[in-house]
């Protein structure tokens, strides 16, 4: 980790790409630059592995936007016609993946309304523990700037808070000359190298479920017969801190992770009776936060909802993509992966419509699949994404124009085609 970038946003003024916002994880860093080099894109100002990897998936400018139907190269219009036809024939489509920006998601919700589609994100399984905790008990959160300016104690539960979000600990490191010292404690995870301030690791006995349950009980001041000494010390430190932030990563939670997210909430609520604290969730990547926010505001219900002429139906368990596909409960998959080559569309015998990154072309050449290459916000399209905290929305600006359509553009074109088909049907005697 680069210690020199820890205390300030890296300087990024004065050359091309200075307004770049990175789409490759949900931290949406907007302090780095990208330079175009021999047809490739190079990150300047950070060594973030996520960004480097993401940029590497955009090589030389593609010669022409392409689309395929059942593996045959076709014109974009022909691909849209084929996609519309298959959508129109579907009685219960699943819109999955949903790695797209605000504009794309707005349009996908409209399209879903036409066909009564179920909406779920590729990372829906990581959203559900958090969402169900929110629905059952609530949430108490903090955001990056608050952590940076206030948090004297950061407790990372079951995550090194770095592997999947390399810039996180750098971006919330205390400001230079801060009036407090930062201590970072990793519970059930190893600390990443090179972290400033006091760093500790706590390896509790038992699993993460036991650890958070015991930590919660200790923070509540309950006397336990066989308390883990390290957790006891940690609980004491959390109660003594002026602003404690508990970090967890939904993508790393074991099955039944809701028990852990609930325990984290209880811990934070309990701390707030006497001192101040908040939770921070390292999640929401691949546009998950965005897809969930847009679906919720337009319809009133979050992801894993069916939207259509008969209204809404939300089911966090039943409407999981994997389950729907396995059980054959849907008859078509529309998959959206515009923020990079991942998430890949699941293999299925059902008809597939894939709006994806060009690198997915090979995977989408099978019979039964319509593949339409789409642009990536922040690389070859403008757009907006929601940050991990769900509060900050940032603009993404195109670095170049590859002539690719946006997800919003494709979804709109499909909506228009479906509307025309419906009118034609209604006109028939």
Partner 1 sequence: MSTIRLKGGRVYDPANGVDGETRDIGMRDGRIVALHPREEADHEYDVSGCVVMAGGIDLHTHIGGGKVNLARMMLPEDHRANRARDSLLELASNGCCTPGTLETGYRYAQMGYTAAFEPAMLAANARHAHMEMGDTPILDHGAYVMLGNEELFLEMLARGEDFERIRDYVGWSIDASKAMGVKVVNPGGISAFKFNQRKLDVDENHVHWQVTPRHVVHTLARALTELGVPHPLHIHASNLGVAGNIESTLATIDALDGLPGHLTHIQFHSYGKEGPKKFSSATRQLIEKVKAAPNVSIDVGQIIFGQTVTASGDTMRQFANADLGSPRKYVGGDIECDAGCGVVPFRYREQSYVNALQWAIGLEIFLLMDDPWRVVLTTDHPNGGPFTSYPHLIRLLMDKSFRDEQLARLHPDVAASVDLREIGRELSLYEIAIMTRAAPARLLGLADRGQLGVGAAADIAVYREDADREAMFATPEYVFKDGRLVARQGRLEAVPVGGTHFLETEFDPGIEKTIEQYAQRHLSVSYRNAKIGNDELCSCANGGALLACKVHGRRGGK
- Which residues bind to partner 1, rule: CB under 8 A? 8-9, 12, 18-19, 21, 30-31, 102-103, 106, 109-110, 113, 131, 134-146, 148-150, 171-172, 175-176, 242-243, 269, 272, 275-276, 278, 292-294, 296-302, 307-312, 314, 382, 384, 386, 389-395
* Residue ranges of E strands in 220-310: 243-248, 276-281, 305-308
Task: State the minimum distance, in angstroms, from the CB of residue 337 to partner 1.
Answer: 22
d(CA 247, CA 93): 36
CA dist 146 and 394 (Å) reads: 18
Number of CB atoms found within 10 A of residue 238's CB: 22
Least distance (Å) from partner 1 to the CB of residue 275? 6
Question: Is residue 199 within 8 Å of 184, Cβ to Cβ?
Answer: yes
Strands 243-248 and 198-202: unpaired
Among residues 161, 160, 198, the alpha carbon closest in space to that of 180 is found at 198
Q: Whole-number minimum distance, CB 140 to partner 1, in Å?
A: 5
Q: Closer to partner 1 at the Cβ: 8 or 53? A: 8
Q: CA separation (Å) from 297 to 47, 143, 185, 293?
A: 36, 21, 36, 6
Give the Cα separation of 88 and 419 in Å (integer): 10
d(CA 95, CA 93): 6
Rounded to a whole number of angstroms, the minimum distance from the CB of residue 272 to partner 1 is 7
**What's 302's DSSP letter?**
-
Rounded CA separation 153/150 (Å):
9
Residue with smaller CB distance to partner 1, 233 or 395: 395
CB of 363 to partner 1, least distance (A): 31
Three-state DSSP state, 407: helix
147 Cβ partners below 8 Å, 6+ apart?
A: 154, 172, 245, 280
Residue 2 C-beta: closest distance to partner 1, Å: 18
Among residues 172 and 208, whose Cβ is nearest to partner 1? 172
Of the pair 69, 94, the CB lying nearest partner 1 is at 94
Spatial CA neighbour of 5 closest among 169, 219, 140, 204:
169
Q: Which is nearer to partner 1, 6 or 369 (CB)?
A: 6
The CB-of-28 to partner 1 minimum distance in angstroms stands at: 9
- Given a contact cutoff of 8 angstroms between Cβ atoms, the answer to whether 332 and 353 are in contact is yes
Distance in Å, CB of 105 to partner 1, minimum: 10
Of 49 and 296, which has the nearer Cβ to partner 1? 296
Which CB sits closer to partner 1, 82 or 303?
303
Residue 276, strand partner residues: 243
- Residue 125 CB, nearest distance to partner 1 (Å)? 17
Does the N-terminal peptide bond of residue 343 adopt cis geometry, omega within 30 degrees of 0? yes
The residue with tokens 């015998």 is 349
Minimal CA–CA distance to 150: which of 116, 167, 129, 175? 175
Is 282 or 307 the residue whose CB approaches partner 1 more closely?
307
CA 363, 369, 373, 375 dihedral sign is negative
- Measured from the CB atom, the residue of 51 and 69 that comes closer to partner 1 is 51
User: Which residue, 184 or 292, is less far from partner 1 as judged by CB?
Assistant: 292
CA distance 279 to 159: 14
Residue written as tokens 């929110």? 134
Distance CA 365, CA 367 (A): 7
Select 57 or 143, whichever has its Cβ closest to partner 1: 143
Minimum distance of partner 1 from residue 287's CB (angstroms)? 15
Please, what is the minimum distance in Å from the beta carbon of residue 149 to partner 1? 6
């Amino acid at each position: 980790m680069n210690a020199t970038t820890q205390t300030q946003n890296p300087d990024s003024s004065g050359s091309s790409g200075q307004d770049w916002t990175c789409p490759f994880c949900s931290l949406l860093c907007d302090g780095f630059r990208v330079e175009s080099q021999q047809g490739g894109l190079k990150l300047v100002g950070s060594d973030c592995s996520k960004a480097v990897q993401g940029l590497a998936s955009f090589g030389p400018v593609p010669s022409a936007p392409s689309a395929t139907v059942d593996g045959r190269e076709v014109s974009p219009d022909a691909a849209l016609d084929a996609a519309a036809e298959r959508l129109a024939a579907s009685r219960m489509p699943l819109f999955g993946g949903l790695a797209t920006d605000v504009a794309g998601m707005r349009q996908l919700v409209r399209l879903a309304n036409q066909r009564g589609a179920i909406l779920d994100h590729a990372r829906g399984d990581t959203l559900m523990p958090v969402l169900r905790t929110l629905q059952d008990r609530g949430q108490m959160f903090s955001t990056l700037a608050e952590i940076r300016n206030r948090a004297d104690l950061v407790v990372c539960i079951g995550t090194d808070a770095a592997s999947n979000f390399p810039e996180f600990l750098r971006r919330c490191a205390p400001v230079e000359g801060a009036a407090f010292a930062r201590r970072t404690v990793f519970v059930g995870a190893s600390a990443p190298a090179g972290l400033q301030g006091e760093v500790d690791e706590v390896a509790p006995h038992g699993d993460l479920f036991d650890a958070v349950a015991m930590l919660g009980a200790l923070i509540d001041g309950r006397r336990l017969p066989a308390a883990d000494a390290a957790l006891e010390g940690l609980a004491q430190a959390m109660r003594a801190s002026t602003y404690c932030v508990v970090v967890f990563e939904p993508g790393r939670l074991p099955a039944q992770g809701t028990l852990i997210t609930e325990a984290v909430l209880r811990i934070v609520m309990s701390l707030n009776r006497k001192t101040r604290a908040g939770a921070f969730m390292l999640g929401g990547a691949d546009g998950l936060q965005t897809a969930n926010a847009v679906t919720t505001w337009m319809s009133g219900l979050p992801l894993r909802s069916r939207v259509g002429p008969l209204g809404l139906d939300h089911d966090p368990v039943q409407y999981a993509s994997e389950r729907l596909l396995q059980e054959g409960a849907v008859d078509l998959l529309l998959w959206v992966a515009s923020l990079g080559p991942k998430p890949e569309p699941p293999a299925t015998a059902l008809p597939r419509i894939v709006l994806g990154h060009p690198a997915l072309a090979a995977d989408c050449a099978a019979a039964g699949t319509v593949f339409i290459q789409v642009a990536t916000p922040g690389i070859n399209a403008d757009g907006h994404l929601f940050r991990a905290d769900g509060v900050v929305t940032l603009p993404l600006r195109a670095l170049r124009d590859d002539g690719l359509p946006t997800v919003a553009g494709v979804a709109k074109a499909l909506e228009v085609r479906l509307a025309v088909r419906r009118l034609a049907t209604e006109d028939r005697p």
